[in-house]
Amino acid sequence: MNALVPLPVLLPLCAAGLELAMGPRFQRAQRFVSLAVLGAVLVLSVALMVAADRHGPLSVHLGDFAPPLGITLVADRLAGLMLTVSSAVTLLVHLYSLGQGMADRDDETPFGVFHPAYLILVAGVSCTFLSGDLVNLYVGFEIMLVASFVLLTIGGTATRVRAGSTYVIISLFSSMLFLVAVAMTYSVAGTVNFAQLAGRLQEVPVGVRTLLEAMLLTVFAIKAAVFPLAAWLPDSYPTAPAPVTAVFAGLLTKVGVYSMLRTETLLFPGHRLAAPLMLAALASMVVGILGAVAQTDLKRVLSFTLISHIGYMVFGIALAGRDALSGAIVYVAHHITVQTTLFLVAGLIERRDGTTELTRLGGLAKSAPLVAVLFFVPAMNLGGIPPLSGFLGKLGLMRAGVEDGGGWAWALVAGAAATSLLTLYVMAKVWNLAFWREAPPGAAGEGVVLESAEDDDSGDGDGDGDGDGDAGGGEGEGGSEGDDRDRDARGDRDAGGERGARGDRRRRGRRPAPAGAVVAAGLLGQSITTTTRLPWPMLLATGAAVALGLLYTVLGGPLTTFTGHAAAELLARTPYIEAVLGP
Amino acid sequence: MTVSLTLLVTAAVLNAVGAVLLLTRSLTRILIGAVVLGNGINLLVLASTGRAGSAPLLHPHVIRNRLTDPLPQAIALTAIVITLATTAFLLSLAYRSHQVTGSDEISDDTEDRLVALRADVLRRRSELRARYRQARTGSGSTGDERARYRAGRRRLRERMREERAYQARARDVSGNLWNDILGADPEDYRVGAERGSTDAAGRPGPAPAHDAGPTNDPEETGREPDGDQDAPGAEGTGRPDGPDGPDDPGQEGPR
């Protein structure tokens, strides 16, 4: 059984090499390999999770080198659960991207890099979840990050290059910080293996220990987008293609949360930085959700709710009791799924209407009822409406906070409740604007063509008279009240609409769209013409993601039992240490 | 543990230089900063070896407790490889940025600035209107007041347009390293432009490989001068519509 542990890393890496060798000429084979490997990783992850639950943590020393020298991979309950959730989500997102790629007819484009990069990302994520030492964790992060650089800037359009630059620089900086932390840890303890560090760090002077903890927490907080270090996220995520944003939002930040969870429990038990962590958690929740309230673009709204809800997990980590950790783990699983699903739905909307700008959307509940349902369920899930898993996670965390009973804990419980309500408000706002109200004039109509339309001068029916309509409105006399009010309304509407209108004009300049069709950005960022009829693989994948979110509710009992055991295992520490170093 | 002071001092200097360069706006400088910072941090990793010893080779005559610790070297090697890959990626990113926007500067996130600007301008506009209305009900002479009111609104619109031009280009024409590092105000950029530190068009040069699309359509650019019609809504027309509008999506993406 132990021999299976490295496979979730090895399989995707080898498959990525194979796909790169095949090149873009064998699109079908590439897709098949990706799908098969991702499916295999899912099966493996489930097997590892079950085995770790039955027999305790599994560990393997690569090359049979003993701990201080060799690389150790460990799969305990937490790692198994994270692997399972992440591989399920990556499989679904991959299906979605296949649907999108096929519909965009990207076969003709030089598109050989998406599938390999995606697999390398999966390998990196698996590597961080499984790694049993600090250096391997660093390497896992780097594998994941380099793949994510490629995915984020795929197609190389100007917006993506700009967004990618921010992301690359921040990631680079946090990696450097991580490396310094690794060097410091090594010079203090003479090892980088988690199991050995767990023992040796206890003998280190308290000040040095706290410094190490602070360094590692800072690094992971940048990765996880905890509030003061989260500004990069809303700038860089929304411009990427929908499946990429979805998998980033779901997984990359949670990898940071996982690393925090692992190091805080294993290396720094009874940690001294609980108060700063709580403060960061509170600030993340409140500032993040207030940011979401202010945004008018669906993808950016979702980016801010992402930051906000990271706060819940940090809250659980900071409390560090058994129930709190259990709640945090449930919340991580729930949030990976739900946040990914919401970004997938945002992708569907963008594809259907050419924009995710809420002021330009409307009437989707009537014109696209399936998309409306697919949005509504995860949105309510995120907001924490009772039978759904978001409620379970929040309930567990708040209960743990109340039991803790400290001043900080109460403040955080209050903050969590307020954030939950504000999340509901934000989701209701999105629902009202995009789905429930009448479609505003100029919204997407019924499309007819399904084509990656190349230049075609058949018409120009889109995006006109939207940004300019009011330029002709003229400077009124500024006299009567009515005039003022009228202008106010118009100003507000246009203030929201202008971005979309500008985007339209720009696109129109490049490639005129056939009348009645929608101009959206394809996977590579090029303008494509889509229809309002969505490709079924995309809908199916999104539906499956929604169903996965609902599954956590159905399996709520076993899930919380499992996470309870996982949390107990984390706090006990001995099962992990013994699995690596022997009894 | 003994640590070589030379290693530490060199690492400190390299890290400081790298950090300063990393804070600039130009991707090329950031690239150099990343390389320098990476080297500095590798030195730190090496410093964790402690006192230098003989080469860590296991041969029969080796004295085991005089060997150099090989593990930090392995870690540093890993880090070097990773830095190399990241550097290559950043280099290609900088080149691509130059290709699509004509410069390798990283512009501000447009959406961030828009959200802030929109709120600010709307607030000031309503303040202006309130003051105007108050003055109108108070005194009889409206001509003066109205002129002042309009002038105020025009100033707001101009500011908005300036911001827009700035964020569209986000270029460094101040020629001042500290402005570049700490982020200059739009005013500095304007001053720089007036001093003529760039070419007449205020642009680094014509963007490469742009076909003359409808962006240069006289019908479209003809609307430019009277962009001051009304309110923040009209900025669509106040947008600098030149050939180097930085984020035309996908115009030369692979087809």
Q: In whole angstroms, give the CA distance from residue A448 to residue A517.
A: 6
Residues β-bridged to residue A357: A297
Q: Which residue of chain A has the CA closest to B18?
A: A173
CA distances in angstroms from A262 to A131, A195, A224, A564, A581, listed in the order given: 10, 11, 14, 15, 17
Q: Which residue of chain B has the CA closest to A481?
A: B133
pLDDT value for B114:
67
Rounded to the nearest integer, the mean pLDDT of chain A is 81
> What's the gap in Å between the CA of A475 and the closest CA on chain B?
6
The residues spanned by each domain of chain A are 2-438+536-581, 449-462+500-531
A142 neighbourhood in chain B, CB within 8 Å:
82
- Helix, strand or coil for residue A69? coil
A447 Rama class: left (phi>0) / alpha (psi -120 to 50) / beta: beta
CA distances in angstroms from A550 to A388, A392, A419, listed in the order given: 7, 12, 22
Write out chain B's pLDDT in tens, 255 residues. 777 888 889 999 999 999 999 888 888 899 999 999 999 999 999 888 877 778 878 778 777 777 888 888 889 999 999 999 999 999 988 888 887 777 777 776 666 666 677 777 888 888 888 888 887 777 666 677 788 888 888 888 887 777 666 555 543 333 444 444 344 444 554 544 444 444 333 434 333 333 333 333 333 333 333 333 443 433 333 334 334 434 444 343 343
The string over A469-488, giving b where at least 16 C-beta atoms fall within 10 Å of a residue's C-beta and e elsewhere, is: bbbebeeeebeeeeebeebe
Q: Name the amino acid, one letter, at A442.
A: G
Chain position carrying tokens 């995006």: A463
Q: In whole angstroms, give the CA distance from residue B89 to residue A470.
A: 44
Contacts for B38 with CB less than 8 Å, ≥ 6 apart:
A176, B18, B79, B80, B83, B87
How many other C-beta atoms lie within 10 A of the C-beta of residue A489?
Answer: 10
Calculate mean pLDDT across residues A232-253. Answer: 88
Q: In whole angstroms, give the CA distance from residue A51 to residue A39.
A: 18
> What's the gap in Å between the CA of B186 and the closest CA on chain A?
20
pLDDT, tens digit, 9 for 90 and up, residues A357-399: 887 787 788 888 888 999 999 999 998 888 888 898 899 999 9
Sign of CA dihedral A79, A81, A85, A90: positive
B246·A162 Cβ contact <8 A: yes
Contact by Cβ (8 Å): B109, A164: no
Residues β-bridged to residue A61: A72
The alpha carbons of chain B give a radius of gyration, in whole angstroms, of: 28
CA distances in angstroms from A57 to A5, A86, A246, A569, B106, listed in the order given: 10, 19, 30, 9, 46
pLDDT, tens digit, 9 for 90 and up, residues A161-201: 888 888 999 999 999 999 999 999 998 888 888 988 988 88
A175 neighbourhood in chain B, CB within 8 Å:
82, 86
The string over A395-416, giving b where at least 16 C-beta atoms fall within 10 Å of a residue's C-beta and e elsewhere, is: ebbbebbeebeeebbeebbebb
Sign of CA dihedral A319, A321, A325, A331: negative
Task: Count Cα atoms within 13 angstroms, Cβ side, for A63.
Answer: 7
Domains of chain B: 5-54+66-101 (1.10.287), 110-203+217-238 (no CATH)
User: Cβ-count burial of B68 within 10 angstroms (0-12 exposed, 13-18 middle, 19+ buried)?
Assistant: middle
Contact by Cβ (8 Å): A310, A225: yes
ipTM passes above 0.90: no
CA distances in angstroms from A346 to A156, A297, A340, B47, listed in the order given: 21, 10, 10, 49
B253·A475 Cβ contact <8 A: no
Q: In whole angstroms, give the CA distance from residue A94 to residue A89.
A: 8
Q: Which residue of chain B has the CA closest to A150?
A: B89
Contact by Cβ (8 Å): A392, A334: yes
Confidence category of residue A527, pLDDT binned at 50, 70, 90: low
- Ranking A16-25, A225-234, A559-568, B25-34 by mean pLDDT, the lowest is A16-25
Contact by Cβ (8 Å): A337, A81: no
**Nearest partner of A74 among A573, A432, A533, judged by Cα:** A573
A155·B213 Cβ contact <8 A: no
CA distances in angstroms from B193 to B110, B165, B187, B202, B239, listed in the order given: 21, 12, 10, 6, 18
How many other C-beta atoms lie within 10 A of the C-beta of residue B47?
Answer: 20
> What's the gap in Å between the CA of B101 and the closest CA on chain A?
7
